[in-house]
Amino acid sequence: MKNDPSQPTSRAADPNTPIGFIGTGVMGNGMAGHLLEAGHPVFVYTRTREKAESLVNRGARWAETPADMARHCQLVFTIVGFPADVEEVYFGEQGLLAAMQPDTILVDMTTSSPELAQRIAEAASENGGRALDAPVSGGDKGAREGTLSIMVGGDREAFDAVRPFFRLMGKNIVYQGGPGSGQHCKMCNQITIASTMVGLCEALAYAESSGLDPETVLQSISTGAAGSWALTHLAPKVLAGDFAPGFYVKHFIKDMSIAAGSAERLGLELPGLQVALERYRQLEARGYGDEGTQALFHLFKED
């Protein structure tokens, strides 16, 4: 009889097995919260413990280090800031790989480099476990509401085992292929968004300069061929002067830099990505790195 891929297929995906979650920032807090709400025992770790207090108050257990978590959990999710943070969490002296149990599944949901994802998968396999790279899209709203798009690379059986847990965090869950494939897919996502954000801000600046009411303009263009998630959710924030981060400028620069490096190794020229990356770097240089990606509009108001 064939396994039902909607059901757990390994001990790591058993609903009674403790789940580890590393990274409880803008995205991770909501994602880990869905696991708790579903009744799963959850261990949490983050460098700044205060960011995990709300989860601990709801019943999550604190792990002192990633290695401590690996000793308790055979399924661990991570979503941290930068590739250097991923390196430390996985390969550090107190990292996951140093202490993982056999049959553990490690799932990195950080947007990171495909090459690093492949290294993690190889190291996990050498230690008797498996790894998935599963970056997400949908911002803080998607994390809170459990509607993220999750792009997964790695071992197919591990994906089938973890899919019930992905379904608690996201709605569009797609297996892309072997190790690194999830990260390559996320690069496609970020390359698309890069040019979209430039176009969005240019359109709003043009609407204002031409004497149109930008909100009325959005009524016309947001449901036409120009429609996008960004136009629907971020353009109104720009018009309201709301630049709070659903996704940080500094993290978007990191993502675009990874995409640009990968494209170069693939021999691809991506001018739209390069223009967006240059503009966002200018934005960060002016002190807006901790604002949301919609803050790009500042450049059009200040130039």
Please tell me which residue in 171, 186, 250, 301 is annotated as part of the active site.
Answer: 186
Tokens of 133: 């790279």
Beta bridge partners of 177: 153
User: Which residue reads 């994602």 in tokens?
Assistant: 31
Which residues 6+ apart lie within 8 Å of 164 measured at CB? 6, 7, 8, 13
3-state secondary structure of 294: helix
186 is catalytic: yes
Q: Give the CA angle between residues 294, 300, 303 to the nearest 5°.
A: 140
Tokens of 24: 């409880």
Q: Please write down the long-range contacts of 3-9, taking CB distance under 8 Å and 24 or more positions apart.
A: 3/160, 5/160, 5/163, 6/163, 6/164, 7/164, 8/161, 8/164, 9/157, 9/160, 9/161
Handedness of CA 113, 85, 130, 60 (dihedral sign): negative
Contact yes or no for 101/71 (Cβ under 8 A): yes
Catalytic site positions: 186
